[in-house]
Amino acid sequence: MTSPLLARLTDDFGYQSLNADTLDAFLVDQEHCVLFFAGDPARYPETLDVAVILPELIHELGGRLTPAVIAPDAEQAWPACTSAIACSQRLTRLPRTNIRQP
């Protein structure tokens, strides 16, 4: 992760960092989750806004939504198949996040 704000999601808040090998196992264990595709903060400055707001959102939802961060190297491998992942996993795609629905 290229920013302290992004690093704190895994380091301080304990969000899992997922890749193609760990995504399915994570999703099986979650009823509702949000996947944060952070991207490059220099290219997408709103990434840092999400990094600040996401922990507050998770806190307000009282544990009903489990967050995870997609590892930067995994993001590079997924652009072409993100829609397929979203469809197969019942995900709702929002800008820079995906939220799993039952």
Phi and psi torsions of 41, nearest 5°: -60, -25
Which of 38-47, 53-62, 76-85, 90-99 reaches the highest mean pLDDT?
53-62
pLDDT in tens, 12-40: 999 999 888 888 888 888 888 888 888 88
Q: Topology of domain 4-100, per CATH?
A: Glutaredoxin (3.40.30)
Query: Domain boundaries in the chain?
Result: 4-100
pTM for this prediction: 0.74
Rounded CA separation 39/97 (Å): 10
Q: What is the pLDDT of residue 45?
A: 85
Q: What is the pLDDT of residue 4?
A: 93
Closest alpha carbon to 25 in 83, 68, 54, 74: 68
